[in-house]
Structure 1
Amino acid sequence: MPASQRTHRTRSVIRFISALALATGLVGGKPALALDEVHLQTDWIPSGEHAMFYGGWSKGIFAEQGIDITVTRGYGSGDTVTKLAGGAFEFGVADIGAVMAARAKTGLPVKTIHTLYTHSPHSLFVLESSGITDFKGLEGKRIGITPGNSHKLYFPKVAEKAGTDPSKIVWVNTDGASMAPLLIQKKLDAAPFYSIHQFYQNKAAQSAGEKIVVLPFEKVGFAIYAASIVASDAMIAENPDLVRRFLEGVQNSYRWARDNPEEACRLHVERIPEVAFDDCMGSLAATLTFVFNEHEQATGFGRYDDERLAFTWEAVAEAQGIDPAWDPGQAIDTSLVPTP
């Protein structure tokens, strides 16, 4: 093992033992301060895309940073951002687009403090048997949609890049729970999903003798930032040490899940038994491609590129009818992201 890795592991062990000592009061035989209690709300249901958080919680990775963490599911990025601003919890996972829009529209005092997905997993699922292989093939076809779904809001921009005529798309309103069944039953030609959910949706398709093909928005050049860690302005200003330690825990959890996916999913499923182990593994593997990649290597984990941030805001502003002249830098502060 390289010396740098041994040093990092030794430091991690020391931090973990120290955290346990603090938690149990075993410091020089004297009472010690308890760990900082932190509540993290994610952006959605706890599938494998969140295994690094739930698994990292069980593994004690956040305890290494002096943090007693609790992780709960979210109900959409907008809900997470709104509740965070109201003080319901300390940190959240939310799409940076929701953070930008809320800040630009109402001045909501919440910021992205660490990017996660370097590009968005927005995509459309089609059946292989449909013969649709690209966005041009969607003209004249039926695409399912739910009210306010960002896939439809972003689609004109995607269509522009793909050379598709958006006026030739037939949008079919439905509820989220019916989307996949209607696609598999061929009552829809395409359905909006995050590509990280292909694995378990494809299991249902295979049981019906079908196979799902993914049309990622990113493949036609629609590369925008997506999931991120968020905090309130007050938390950033008043407790920067906790923010730094929390982000250290986030980064360590992601790297641990990348290097130990089976353990991460085993621990995740222990906490969330309704998630099947193979579904967790499939979703986690797909998720990590949006986190660790060439863009992340160029910018640094958790940081951002000015050009991509500007395009992200351009897409969000156009989709939601917000003044594009607003400065998106007002919605992001990565100054407390750990330095490698």
Structure 2
Amino acid sequence: MSTSPLANRRQFLALIGLSAVAVGCGTAVGGGSAGKGGTKTLRYQGWAGQVIPAELAADLGFLDDVKLEWVGNTISGPQDIQSAATGQTDFGGAFNGAVVKLAASGAPIKAVISYYGSDQHAYSGYYVLADSPIRSARDLVGKKVGMNTLGAHSEAMLDIYLQRGGLPAADADKVEPLVVPPVNTEQSLRQKQIDVAVLGGVLRDKALAKGGIRPLFTDHQLLGSFSAGTYVMTERFTRQNPDMVRTFVTGVARALDWTRTTPREEVVARMTDIVRKRKRNEDVDTLRYWKSYGVSEPGGRITGDELKLWLDWLTERGDIPSGKVRLESLYTNEFNAAVASTAPTPSGR
């Protein structure tokens, strides 16, 4: 008898596709090293049409002698941190639940700084067509929800919404999350290929500007303001390259704080310039809708609460054995030397 993929919904983070075997093979030191003239390089994956905090930090001149080497784009946080864990890149970022799950699988990683979150400006919304009959969690039974990846932030929020809506597990299993590339999600909703579209950031605001859709709920409504994702590095990499890691983390922290103290129009202009300069044939129009990275703590500092939320939740659900992961082993702020109250002065423009 075959088993529906949705039957494992209560173990949904297992869909990340991260195995202890795969992670155990990730013994590569990574590409971050000192080259000729003392140049230091960190390999990473980007997001099409977006400027991640690390890229902004580099453009602002906050990374000093550390250089970033783009190796391609991703649409999945879990895939991004798996690449970091296995040495294909030197850092990656994902939803904190995915970070906890990866650590529980045996990956020797640590979160070093928060890089995105949810606030009144930056949030993920679950949108339906304006005339859709969907109004509650129960209305989602048998419906399709399009999101960028499974087993990460979007599916976690959907799961919480269904739980809070009082939906029994048997009915929750009938709600079908589907992977849809972010750039195609709005179109898929409007063409009724999916019933609900998860939209965030500039893609959300661009879709709202067109009209014809309305929110069913948002992650900010569910949990309030919170830092949702962190950049991770392997423990081996941080041990072997402490100065480079400190420069990188502190530079990203300063970039996050710079976006808080700088007029939005100036931040958007800077991001637009960054995307144009890298010449990857990307649409810059969506950048004008950018408002915030949503990181709740100054300098992207990790309090532990943002990881504890998911550690406790995963443990209670049985996804992680009790005591398998210690909270204090998941993160460190030792490389973040930014002074949050100091407004940095950018260079390199």
For the criterion TM > 0.5, the same-fold answer is: yes
Letter in 2 for 1:331: L
Given candidates 278, 293, 314, the residue that maps to 2:312 is 314
Given candidates 108, 128, 131, the residue that maps to 2:130 is 128
Give the structure 1 partner of residue 42 of structure 2.
Answer: 38
Q: Are 1:47 and 2:71 counterparts?
A: no
For 2:207 and 2:315, locate their aligned partners in 1 and report how far apart those are by CA, in whole Å. 31
Letter in 1 for 2:319: G
For 1:245 and 1:211, locate their aligned partners in 2 and report how far apart those are by CA, in whole Å. 43
Question: For residues 171-320 of structure 1, what are the structure 2 equivalents within 5 Å?
Answer: 171-172=175-176, 174-177=178-181, 179-194=185-200, 197-202=203-208, 206=210, 210-213=212-215, 215-221=217-223, 225-258=227-260, 259=262, 260-261=266-267, 262-282=269-289, 284-285=290-291, 287-288=292-293, 290-291=294-295, 295-296=296-297, 300-317=298-315
For 1:225 and 1:320, locate their aligned partners in 2 and report how far apart those are by CA, in whole Å. 24
Flag the 1:196–1:143 CA change in 2: closer, same or farther, 3 A.
Answer: farther
Flag the structure with higher helix content.
1
* Range with bigger deviation, 159-168 or 329-338: 159-168
Q: Which whole-Å deviations, capped at 9, do the CAs of 1:13-46 have from their partners, x for residues lacking one?
A: xxxxxxxxxx9xxxxxxxx94332222334xx23
Letter in 2 for 1:76: S
**Structure 1 residue 229: Cα displacement:** 1.5
**Structure 1 residue 184: Cα displacement:** 1.0
Give the structure 1 partner of residue 100 of structure 2.
Answer: 100
Give the structure 2 partner of residue 11 of structure 1.
Answer: none
SS in structure 2 of the partner of residue 336 of structure 1? coil
CA contact (8 A) 2:96 2:228 kept: yes
For 1:179 and 1:324, locate their aligned partners in 2 and report how far apart those are by CA, in whole Å. 37
For 1:191 and 1:249, locate their aligned partners in 2 and report how far apart those are by CA, in whole Å. 34
Question: For residues 2-41 of structure 1, what are the structure 2 equivalents within 5 Å?
Answer: 33-41=37-45
For 2:114 and 2:56, locate their aligned partners in 1 and report how far apart those are by CA, in whole Å. 20
SS in structure 2 of the partner of residue 226 of structure 1? strand
For 2:280 and 2:100, locate their aligned partners in 1 and report how far apart those are by CA, in whole Å. 34
CA contact (8 A) 2:144 2:178 kept: no
Give the structure 2 partner of residue 91 of structure 1.
Answer: 91
Give the structure 2 partner of residue 161 of structure 1.
Answer: 164
* Range with bigger deviation, 91-100 or 180-189: 180-189
Q: Which whole-Å deviations, capped at 9, do the CAs of 1:95-123 have from their partners, x for residues lacking one?
A: 33222111112x11111111123449454
For 1:255 and 1:199, locate their aligned partners in 2 and report how far apart those are by CA, in whole Å. 23
For 2:194 and 2:280, locate their aligned partners in 1 and report how far apart those are by CA, in whole Å. 31
The root-mean-square deviation of aligned C-alpha atoms, in Å, is: 3.4
Flag the 1:308–1:88 CA change in 2: closer, same or farther, 3 A.
Answer: closer
* Range with bigger deviation, 230-239 or 265-274: 265-274
Letter in 2 for 1:215: F
Q: Which whole-Å deviations, capped at 9, do the CAs of 1:105-146 have from their partners, x for residues lacking one?
A: 2x111111111234494541222333656x447455623257
Flag the 1:266–1:104 CA change in 2: closer, same or farther, 3 A.
Answer: same
**Structure 1 residue 90: Cα displacement:** 2.4
Q: Are 1:111 and 2:117 counterparts?
A: no
SS in structure 2 of the partner of residue 124 of structure 1? strand
TM-score, length of structure 2 as denominator length: 0.69
Give the structure 2 partner of residue 71 of structure 1.
Answer: 70
Flag the 1:166–1:86 CA change in 2: closer, same or farther, 3 A.
Answer: closer
Gaps of 5+ in 2: 1-33, 340-349
Percent of matched pairs sharing the same residue: 17
CA contact (8 A) 2:93 2:231 kept: yes
For 1:218 and 1:162, locate their aligned partners in 2 and report how far apart those are by CA, in whole Å. 16
SS in structure 2 of the partner of residue 100 of structure 1? helix
Letter in 1 for 2:43: H
For 1:162 and 1:304, locate their aligned partners in 2 and report how far apart those are by CA, in whole Å. 30
For 1:112 and 1:82, locate their aligned partners in 2 and report how far apart those are by CA, in whole Å. 13
Q: Which whole-Å deviations, capped at 9, do the CAs of 1:57-98 have from their partners, x for residues lacking one?
A: 344332xx2212223423522322222223223222233322
CA contact (8 A) 1:111 1:333 kept: yes
Gaps of 5+ in 1: 1-22, 24-31
Flag the 1:273–1:39 CA change in 2: closer, same or farther, 3 A.
Answer: closer
